[in-house]
Amino acid sequence: MDIGWKIVSAGVGLAAGVVANKIVDVTWEAVSGKDIPDVEDLDTPLVDAMIFSVVSAGVAALVSQLFQRKAAQWYGPAKGTVDASVSA
């Protein structure tokens, strides 16, 4: 794996995390009408904390995959080759 892809992949991972968090934050407040649950607060209802955790993980995984695939599509042709480790 080349250093360029490592740098691109790390940057894309960070961007995906920021975007996923923003999507979850805005969507949670719009759909539930409540603030984002503090999963470390013992007064937060367990159901709210669990639903928020599952939704957050799912959105993070989806956004990460979409960003990584788009970066791989961009990076492979830009480099002139498509390495097996840089697959869409």
DSSP per residue over 8-75, as a string?
Answer: HHHHHHHHHHHHHHHHHHHHHHHHHSSPPP-TT-TTS-HHHHHHHHHHHHHHHHHHHHHHHHHHHHHH
Q: Kindly indicate the confidence band of residue 79, based on its pLDDT and cuts at 50, 70 and 90.
A: low
Please indicate whether residue 55 or residue 75 has the higher confidence score (pLDDT).
55
pLDDT of residue 59: 97
Which pLDDT value is given to residue 76? 77
Say what the pTM is.
Answer: 0.77
Predicted pLDDT of residue 82? 52
Determine the average pLDDT of the residues in 63-87: 77
